[in-house]
Structure 1
Amino acid sequence: MKRPAHWLSASVALLAATLFVCPKPAAANTYNIFDLGTANGRTLDGLDAAGNVVISQTYGCGVASFTCYVTYVDGVAGTPTSSAPDLVYDDGTPCSSTPAGYNALKQVCNQGVVGLGSVYNPNGDKNGIYIGSGDNLQFLRNGSADQIFLNSVGTLAWTDGTGEEIFEAVDPPGPAVSPIPEPGSLLLVGTGLLWFTAAVRRRANR
C-alpha cells in the first residue's frame, strides 16, 4: 500500500524541525566579582542601569569637603569628587517574598531577578550572597549583605558587613550565537535526512 507523497514530506519536515528546534539546556551565568574596597568610613550610595557604582566616603577630597564620591566601573575607581555624580540610580525595589528555602536578612528585586544575603538556610545551602530568578538562585560568594542593590540588567552591588568590604557582581554578555549551523552539523543532519527519506520511500512503495 502506497502512502501519499505529502505524508513523506511531513515526516521529513518533522525530523528536521526536531533536530534544529529542540531547546538546549541553559548554562548558569558566570559573574565577574569586583572588590571595591573597605566599607570602613564608606557607604554604598547607588547603582545605575549601566552598572556604575557610587560610593560615598569621609575622606579623599580634602579638608574642605566632608563627603567625597567615587564612581566605579567594572571594579575600576574614577576620580573622587566632592559633588555627587549626575546618575539616575537603578537600585531595585524590596521583594514581595523570599525564595523558598532561604533565610534572607537583606534582599532586593528588579525585573524578575532577586539578589539576597542569606544565613542559616532551611534548605542547607551555605551562608552568603545569592542571585537568580524564582527559587533558582546562584551562589556568588561568602559573606553578608548590610546593603544590597540590583539594577535592571542583573548587576548586583552590596556591602559585606562580615568582612567590611564592598563588592560588585557583573554578569558579562555572552558570546554572540550564530544562527547558521556549523558545517559538520549540516553534514550530519543532511546525511540523516537522506537516510530517513530513503527508508520512508522503501516502506511507502511496499
Structure 2
Amino acid sequence: MRISSLCLPVKNILTPVPVVSYYLHIQPVLGELSSLSPYRSIYCEEFEMITDFRSRLAGLAGLTLGGLAIAVSLQTPAQAQAAYGSYVGIGAGVGFGDDSNLALVLSSRYNILELPISIRGTAFIGDGSAFVPTVSYDYPLSFNTEVYLGAGISLPAGDGSPVGDDIAFVLQPGVDYTMTDNNLVIFGNAIFAIGGESGGGTATSVQGGVGYQF
C-alpha cells in the first residue's frame, strides 16, 4: 500500500461507495490502517516532508529556468550588428600639411569578431604614396553604424604624401556605416601623423569612400 493512502482522512475513505468496491478496496485499507495506527503519524509526517520538498524543488527549478530564459533574451551578441564585418574599399583622400594634395585611397578592414578590435590598412596612391596600418577599437552606435579609434604608424614612400614625409605614429578616428539592403560600407576617417612632416609637425589627412563587406 502507498504511504499516501495512510494519510487520507477517514471521512474521505468512508464516502458512500458500492458494496463490492467496499469489500474489494476500502475494507483492506481500513484493516491496514488499524494495524499501522501507531506508526500512522510518523508515515504522514515523512510523507508531508517529502511532498513539501518536491514542491519546493519544482518551484526552484522553475525560477532557475525562467531566469535563464530572461538572461538569454536580454543578450545582444555583437556579431548580430550589421556594422561588424571585414571589407575592402576605394575612395579619395586629401592631406592638410606642408603638401596639400589629393590621392587615391585603398582601405581595408579585418574585423576580429570575438573582440571589438579591427586591423585596418590605408594606402595612398598619388604624387606621394604612403601606407598606414592601424589597430582600432570599435564601438557600435546603432545596428549599422560604428565609430572607432585606431593607432598605428605611417609609412610614406617619397615626399608629398597626404600623411607627411617621415615615418610617424598615427591616430585614426573614423566611422563605418553599413547599408542594410546590401554589402556596401560607407567609410570615413582622419589620420593624424604626429611628427610626420619634415619639420616635425603633424600631418593630417581626411579620406572616405565605399567598401564591400565580406
**TM-score, normalization by structure 2:** 0.28
Choose between structure 1 and 2: higher strand proportion: 2
The structure with the largest alpha-carbon Rg is 2
**TM-score, normalization by structure 1:** 0.28
Higher relative contact order (CA 8 A, sep 6+): 1
